[in-house]
Amino acid sequence: MPNEQSQKRIFGGGEFHFVTGAREQPFMTEQDAKRKWQEDPEANTIFAEAKSKTDADHSPLFCYAVSPSAAETIVDVAATIGASRVIVGAPQRNALINLLRGNVIREVSNSLPEEIDLLVYA
């Protein structure tokens, strides 16, 4: 995990916002692992919305992964980049989807290092 000094060297200091899209897919092919966010309509929509809500000087950096575990991917990315906070969205959907989302949020909460804050946005 990068420390504060290495982050300043890598990112030039300042504050950065990463938007991570984790497509959970229990069974994966080699092509799935290589998929880019531009090929995923839902990720494209989410990333475009995130970019539209920022100014040109503070554009978010995007990270996208297809993974058997969205929660593990979110925690791994947060720890790797040295995030101070993880914000997880919980969109309004039918009860089954909300239940499944809750499991991801619970897994992230249980696995996230203590020094990283978790905020759930619904």
The CATH number that applies at residue 22 is 3.40.50
CA 114 to each of CA 95, 106, 109, 117: distance values in angstroms, whole numbers, following the listed order: 30, 14, 9, 7
13 found inside a domain: no
SS3 call for 34 = coil
Q: Is residue 3 part of a domain?
A: no
Q: Phi, psi (5° rounding) for residue 120?
A: -105, 120
Query: Where is pLDDT greater, at 21 or 93?
Result: 21
Q: Is residue 6 part of a domain?
A: no
> Of 19-23, 31-35, 81-85, 113-117, which gets the smallest average pLDDT?
19-23
CA distance 61 to 74: 14
The pLDDT assigned to 110 comes to: 92
pLDDT more than 90, % of the chain: 6
Q: How many domains does the chain have?
A: 1
Structural domain boundaries, residue 88: 18-121
